[in-house]
């Protein structure tokens, strides 16, 4: 394999932005756990260890001109690409370092309010984990916040043998890394068709393998083919980070704060009997079996009183990230489908569809004033957990300008990338994922083709042999493609474009 310190370097990692790494999301997660958020407006420092393509850091730096961002990765191509994007965007508050974890002490870095690591801790060996923990001990400020994702046990238990099979077979093969990954996947497919017990037992390994085959090869290589790969029980991660002065604060994804959406009533009753928080959190993993945990740790973050927590939440602005008209009045959670009571949710969604608002502003509306505030809070937490809402701000002019420049560079770079990719919102201080055609329609706004984007987009599609689909079927004729293109453009103009404008994306 093409390894450096046990980590894949022969294939670049995928481009992507992870919402949970955003300072605003981490602050909201702290607030939900009665911990004082970092005062972002006063200025802050942020470090991404193992930043990959650096897209998250560039995006957050554009949204937060008051912050100073540093990102570290030892893949030279990743760092070069991140620096190029920052330069094209004119970002001055994002610095990218090409370095391994063992070289962290040789870099001149400030102390940090935030340190984030996505897809790192389970994918490096013990020596590198020691370097990481020492860095956190020395460079994280008192009261600082750490985001850490890792492969979780027992969720990975049924699938770990498949990962071992793929990795071992690839190690035995000649050729480039891409060729070895392809051969390993093809070999596992043959074994599946031959009916070996790994795929035909009482586990979901067959379904998981079929899902894996749909993923980009560079993603598969980085997720499954590193030399080092260690899934963890939550309690073991807590134990490892304790000497660095870190304590578990809570989950970064909002749904994991809402037991009512994750566990049945009998399960909640058993969980509530467990007083030890680390044991309780580990027991949750035995109940829900997630394959990836996204945890937040803090170094002595001050706690809020219940009154302070309520006051902070009442003042927190929230924004819809989907149009209210297209939002189904239901959402699927681990406990099953949750229906939205229209008497409660419709006025909330109608208000937020106009503009981002605080809880106090919502409670001033006639349709909600008669309802108990507790019901409105519960509805907002459900919408946050369903990824319909995100924290929001009134963005400063500097952020609006920086985001405009960043989005223009991203649109130009990824014009013909058919994957779903992210653009920045200064209102959300975060990313919104958009389909390829949606991004082309946005690009038309700056080309002068916005009044009728169809001819410009169709010329682009023909030049790259792209075709649309309807009901799962690829459209072959020009007539069908143009009809579908006009239909989707009209839907975008009526439903998505107003939302993107409210969020400052266009």
Using the structure block, give the residue that is written with the tokens 């959406």: 261
pLDDT score for 8: 45
As beta bridge partners, residue 48 has 71, 116
Closest CA to 464 of 422, 443, 436: 436
Q: Which residue has the higher pLDDT, 463 or 384?
A: 384
pLDDT bracket for residue 1 (50, 70, 90): very low
pLDDT of 415-438, one tens digit each? 888 888 899 999 999 999 999 889
Is a pLDDT exceeding 90 seen at residue 224? Answer: no
The domain segmentation of the chain, as residue ranges, is: 3-154+231-298, 160-224, 318-391, 448-506
Tokens at residue 43, please? Answer: 């200025």
Residue 197: other Cβ atoms inside 10 A: 9
The pLDDT of 186-191, averaged and rounded, is 91
Q: Which residues contact 463 (CB under 8 A, 6 or more apart)?
A: none
pLDDT score for 199: 85
Q: What secondary structure does DSSP assign to 140-164, as a single string? A: EEEEEEEEEEEEBTTTTTTTHHHHH
Is a pLDDT exceeding 50 seen at residue 289? Answer: yes
Using the structure block, give the residue that is written with the tokens 């984007």: 453
The pLDDT of 299-316, averaged and rounded, is 96
Output the CA angle 173-187-180, nearest 5 degrees.
Answer: 30
pLDDT score for 203: 62
Please give the CATH topology (third level) of the domain spanning 3-154+231-298.
Rossmann fold (3.40.50)
């Amino acid at each position: 394999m093409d390894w450096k310190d046990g980590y894949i370097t022969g294939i670049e990692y995928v481009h992507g932005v992870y919402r949970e790494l955003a300072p605003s999301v981490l602050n909201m997660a702290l607030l939900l756990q009665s911990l004082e958020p970092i005062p972002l407006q006063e200025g802050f420092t942020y470090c991404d260890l193992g930043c990959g393509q650096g897209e998250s850091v560039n995006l957050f730096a554009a949204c937060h001109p008051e912050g100073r961002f540093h990102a570290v990765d030892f893949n030279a191509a990743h760092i070069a690409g991140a620096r190029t994007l920052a330069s094209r965007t004119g970002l001055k508050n994002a610095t990218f370092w090409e370095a391994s974890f063992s070289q962290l002490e040789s870099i001149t870095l400030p102390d940090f309010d935030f340190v984030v690591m996505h897809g790192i801790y389970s994918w490096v060996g013990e020596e590198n984990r020691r370097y990481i923990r020492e860095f956190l001990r020395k460079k994280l400020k008192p009261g600082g916040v750490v985001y850490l994702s890792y492969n979780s046990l027992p969720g990975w238990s049924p699938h770990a043998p498949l990962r071992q099979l793929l990795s071992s077979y690839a190690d035995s093969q000649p050729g480039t890394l891409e060729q070895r990954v392809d051969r390993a996947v093809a070999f596992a497919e043959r074994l599946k068709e031959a009916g070996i017990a790994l795929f035909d037992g009482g586990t979901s390994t067959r379904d998981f393998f079929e899902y894996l085959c749909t993923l980009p090869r560079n993603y598969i290589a980085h997720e499954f083919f590193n030399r080092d790969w260690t899934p963890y029980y939550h309690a073991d991660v807590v134990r490892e980070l304790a000497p660095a002065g870190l304590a578990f604060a809570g989950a970064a994804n909002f749904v994991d704060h809402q037991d009512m959406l994750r566990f049945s009533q009998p399960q909640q009753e058993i969980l509530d009997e467990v007083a030890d928080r680390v044991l309780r959190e580990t027991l949750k993993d035995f109940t829900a079996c997630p394959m990836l945990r996204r945890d937040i740790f803090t170094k002595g973050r001050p706690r809020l009183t219940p009154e302070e927590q309520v006051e902070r939440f009442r003042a927190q602005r929230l924004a819809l990230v989907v149009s209210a008209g297209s939002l189904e009045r239901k959402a699927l959670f681990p406990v099953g489908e949750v229906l939205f009571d229209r008497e409660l949710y419709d006025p909330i969604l109608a208000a937020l569809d106009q503009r981002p608002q605080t809880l106090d502003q919502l409670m001033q509306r006639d349709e909600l004033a008669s309802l108990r505030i507790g019901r409105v809070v519960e509805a907002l937490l459900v919408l946050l957990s369903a990824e319909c809402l995100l924290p929001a701000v009134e963005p400063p002019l500097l952020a609006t300008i920086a985001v405009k420049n960043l989005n223009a560079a991203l649109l130009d770079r990824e014009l013909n990338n058919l994957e779903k990719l992210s653009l920045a919102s200064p209102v959300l201080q975060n990313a919104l994922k958009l389909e390829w055609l949606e991004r082309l329609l946005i690009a038309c706004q700056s080309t002068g083709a916005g009044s009728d984007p169809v001819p410009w987009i169709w010329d682009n599609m023909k030049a790259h042999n792209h075709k649309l689909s309807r009901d799962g079927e690829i459209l072959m004729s020009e007539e069908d493609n143009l009809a579908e293109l006009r239909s989707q453009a009209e839907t975008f103009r009526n439903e998505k474009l107003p939302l993107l404008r409210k969020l400052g994306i266009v």
